[in-house]
């Protein structure tokens, strides 16, 4: 096989950047970004059912190896194509991280959609699919970390390994992109309002719909925002910078409207770690999690390091003081200490 034929057949599994140019070490091809990137998509054959994507194992010995996706350009309802590459966080790579909820506003978290990677399919939820569709650039690639795609969800030990890296993943991302869901007339008005000087408050019903999106209630988003260098909030195709000033403005509005202040509004990008568990748990009291233990695990990275290694008895005491109704769900204290 000639080198030209090899280049055309290569799926570019090992892409590095040299002097600003992305090159594939496997075939030696320079990959220049351009409007038409279909040659990189490796789309499945028309009228064929693509096989499920097979993940290449992470190298745990490297300490902080993760996967990221290169999200290829697209518009509207076009299929979503990406490539998956391995990176080591110790190398300080450039990428953005997605913060979202698996379930959509109706609570549907089924893997009902698919995206395509190297000619194979990856099943994702409707909300993840919508996030990628709205985030992708019409003419440029994006490098993005998305938990549902970058972690092999069928591999339990890998999931545990990557969850332990979550704080590093979000703190090292150049930006965290928050996708709260599809837009609506009410949410569009709020996004426009937040972009402006804020001289008018707008309709109460609009704010209620905005704050009732699932993202604002999710426990895991606390660290995703608090550890971020900067945050952009996205609803449908509308975007705003999620700055400390806007966070304080929305939190104050919640008080004016007599609405519960979502826990995520009590944490700003690059927040300092809190001094004790009870303070962190108090800030997250309005958050939701499928497993009560996740409400603690999700904020573990926001507590000072010296306080993370609590004893079994201490953690049971914290639970007893803070949430007795949650303590009963934890059958073995050692299990809780392992998480924390």
What integer pLDDT is reported at residue 19 of this predicted model? 55
Lowest-confidence pick of 30-39, 228-237, 271-280? 30-39
> pLDDT category, 297, cuts 50, 70, 90?
confident
Q: How confident is the model at residue 328 (pLDDT cuts 50, 70, 90)?
A: very low
Beta strands 96-99 and 175-181 are parallel
pTM confidence score: 0.78
User: Mean of the per-residue pLDDT values for the chain?
Assistant: 81
Residue 6 predicted with pLDDT over 50: no
Q: Is the pLDDT of residue 215 over 60?
A: yes
Average pLDDT over residues 140-163: 95
pLDDT at 49: 81
Q: 235-261 pLDDT, tens per residue?
A: 999 999 999 999 999 999 999 988 888
**What is the pLDDT at residue 166?**
92
The residue extents of the domains of the chain are 1-32, 33-173, 273-340
Q: Each residue of 16-36: pLDDT tens digit?
A: 665 555 667 666 665 544 444
Confidence of residue 327 (pLDDT cuts 50, 70, 90): very low
Q: Tell me what pLDDT residue 282 has.
A: 76
Question: pLDDT grade, residue 202 (50/70/90)?
Answer: confident
Q: Give percent of the chain with pLDDT exceeding 70.
A: 74
- List the single range of 35-39, 120-124, 153-157, 185-189 with lowest mean pLDDT: 35-39
What is the band of 288 on the pLDDT scale with cuts at 50, 70, 90?
confident
Q: pLDDT tens digits for 166-193?
A: 999 999 999 999 999 999 999 999 999 9
User: What mean pLDDT do residues 148-164 have?
Assistant: 93
Closest CA to 175 of 142, 134, 217, 140: 142
Please give the average per-residue pLDDT across 67-95, as a whole number: 96
Averaged pLDDT for residues 276-296:
76
Checking if the pLDDT of 313 tops 60, the result is: no
For residue 47, the model assigns a pLDDT of 58
Q: Please report the pLDDT score of residue 1 as a whole number.
A: 44
């Amino acid at each position: 096989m000639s080198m030209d034929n090899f280049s055309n057949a290569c799926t570019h599994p090992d892409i590095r950047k040299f002097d600003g140019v992305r090159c594939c070490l496997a075939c030696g091809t320079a990959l220049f970004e351009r409007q038409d990137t279909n040659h990189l998509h490796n789309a499945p054959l028309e009228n064929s059912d693509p096989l499920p994507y097979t993940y290449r194992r992470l190298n745990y010995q490297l300490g902080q190896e993760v996967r990221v996706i290169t999200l290829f350009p697209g518009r509207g309802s076009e299929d979503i194509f990406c490539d998956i590459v391995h990176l080591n966080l110790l190398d300080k790579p450039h990428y953005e991280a997605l913060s979202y909820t698996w379930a959509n506003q109706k609570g549907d978290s089924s893997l009902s959609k698919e995206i395509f990677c190297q000619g194979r399919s990856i099943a994702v939820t409707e909300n993840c699919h919508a996030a990628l569709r709205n985030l992708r650039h019409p003419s440029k690639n994006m490098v993005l970390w998305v938990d549902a795609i970058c972690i092999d969800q069928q591999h339990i030990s890998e999931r545990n390994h990557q969850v332990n890296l979550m704080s590093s993943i979000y703190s090292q991302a150049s930006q965290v992109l928050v996708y709260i869901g599809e837009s609506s007339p009410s949410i569009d008005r709020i996004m426009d309002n937040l972009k402006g000087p804020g001289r008018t408050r707008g309709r109460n019903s609009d704010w209620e719909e905005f704050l009732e999106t699932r993202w604002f209630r999710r426990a895991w988003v606390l660290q995703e925002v608090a550890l971020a260098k900067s945050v952009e909030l996205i609803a449908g195709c509308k975007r705003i910078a999620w700055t400390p000033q806007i966070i304080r403005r929305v939190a104050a509005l919640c008080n004016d409207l007599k609405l519960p202040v979502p826990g995520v509004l009590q944490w700003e990008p690059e927040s300092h770690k809190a001094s004790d568990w009870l303070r962190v748990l108090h800030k997250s009291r309005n958050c939701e999690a499928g497993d009560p233990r996740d409400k603690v695990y999700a904020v573990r990275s926001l507590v000072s390091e010296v306080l993370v290694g609590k004893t079994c008895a201490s953690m049971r005491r914290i639970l007893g003081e803070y949430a007795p109704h949650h303590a009963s769900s934890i059958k073995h204290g050692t299990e809780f200490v392992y998480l924390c």
